[in-house]
Amino acid sequence: MSSTKSLAPVLALVGCTNSGKTTIARCLVDTIQKLGKSAAMIEQDDDYLLAHQVEKVPRKHNPDDFYYHYDQISALNVGGLEKRLLEARQKADFVIIEGNMIAEIKEIMQLVDKVIFFTIDQKTCRRRREQRTYDPPDVEGYFDQIVWPAYLEHVRNAMSQARLDDRFVFVDVSSENDKATEKEVFEVIEAISRDFIKITSQTLELDAAMKLLRLPNCGATSIFIGTTRDTFDGKEVLQLSYESYDEMAYPELRKLCSSVRATFPTVERLIVWHRVGEVPVTEASVIIAAASPHRKDAIQAVSMAIDELKARIPIWKKESYADGEHSWKENEEWKVGKPKETSSSQIATYTKPQGDAKFFWLHELIQQLERLRKD
């Protein structure tokens, strides 16, 4: 009897140039192999077309000269990239594909199980890029006219996709370091393995949240579900509508999770999900949840996360009433600043994973990918 090898799960690392995608991908591959698994790495950079095949864009300040526009899909051999990915899925246990435009290539995204999108600030990106050598080399003005505007377009497209696609995870990697360090790599892995963040236009599913919160070492799960109620100040409410400034909201949500963990270090899992767009009466607009060995930490962590969410995250709501009127509502917390931090007294001490922590969190990420493949 012959057995057919299942196709490997594919993790896509996407983001701006110099955000550390290649460094992180290589580190992940090396660590996966140390865990006894095989891993293949596919680099988008290997499939760029030759210079004469790439679009030339006139320079703003010197129209008689031009830039090669490498930051658009037309500069890639998409067929070659897809072929290499298909072959790698059949041979390896895991595949990591990295590149700044992966999330916008339909043929590739059909094969991807999870996307980690690295956001970065302009200062970090510019500093790192100036220290690298490119072929063809960067010339004056290329970063400002081509590289940075292309990144802004890519990140907006990705965040727009993420509102309908649960595969996306966003992590900000802005740093004073000239390149991603191993410590930063595994901080990223730990963050995405423990904290589940999303801004979505889809219905929030409690069952999906519960699957993420079930952990053998956690005896307490606390969940807050915020729903649309049908009245406000005597007026009949038909629905709420939420708007989010995603480019700022995602980094702030990561900081929120870090703040909660600093106060309640025993919390093993955090979920912060927010719905945007129209949310009818009785439907959930937000789910915040925590899993911990102890109930007090889980309950207080959720309470702190709710307060922090209202105080610091740029998400706004509009109430629509039965009389045809509507009103944009401002969180009271925005007026008075951040809420007071919950007291950390009498909080249980966090027990670190046994052995090498970086392997522990990578194993968590691998298990998530395997579950995605099974589902």
- Do the annotations mark residue 123 as ligand-binding? no
DSSP 253-315: HHHHHHHHHHH-TT--EEEEEEE-EEEETTSEEEEEEEEESSHHHHHHHHHHHHHHHHHHS-E
- Do the annotations mark residue 229 as ligand-binding? no
- Do the annotations mark residue 37 as ligand-binding? no
Contact (CB, 8 A) for 180 and 118: no
- Do the annotations mark residue 310 as ligand-binding? yes
Q: Which two tokens stand for residue 163?
A: 């509102």
- Do the annotations mark residue 255 as ligand-binding? no
CA 24 vs CA 96, 116, 220, 233, 309: distances in Å: 10, 11, 33, 52, 30
**Angle, CA of 35, 37 and 42, to the nearest 5°:** 115
Please, which residues have CB within 8 angstroms of residue 202's CB and are 6 or more apart in sequence? 163, 164, 166, 275
68 forms bridges with which residues in the sheet?
56
CA gap 319, 267 in Å, rounded: 34
- Do the annotations mark residue 295 as ligand-binding? yes
Q: Which of 178, 172, 171 is nearest to 124 (CA)?
A: 178
* Binding site, annotated residues: 294-295, 310, 317-319
* Binding site, annotated residues for substrate: 294-295, 310, 317-319
